[in-house]
Amino acid sequence: MPRTAKRLLQTALSGTAATVYTAPASTTAQVTEIYLANTGTTARTVNLYVNGTANSNIIVNGLLVNGSSSVILQDTKIVIPTGTVFSAKQDTGTDITMTAFGVEEV
């Protein structure tokens, strides 16, 4: 099965949990690194979810990203099977840019 390393997503987060990546048909993805850049001056908190946005699907809760700074999550090993969604949100506003790198295996 071929594995392709790639940028899986890059998007601005909002105050509402939203899908940022969906594993394509016949593909399993693994998120290996997540970069969270706060372009604003106010500290923000970030939640990450797998397989829905209910509280039971939170994998990172209330991660603090200070104003004008970044947080890098390395070696995350988040597996996203075919059709499964990866979602995220920040507490308020749209200051956080989220970028995730990983691999897709077909």
Domains and CATH numbers, the chain: 3-105 (2.60.120)
Model pLDDT, residue 1: 72
Q: Which among 29, 22, 18 has a CA at the least distance from the CA of 101?
A: 29
The pTM score is 0.95
Q: What is the pLDDT along the chain (106 residues), one digit of tens a residue?
A: 799 999 999 999 999 999 999 999 999 999 999 999 999 999 999 999 999 999 999 999 999 999 999 999 999 999 999 999 999 999 999 999 999 999 999 9
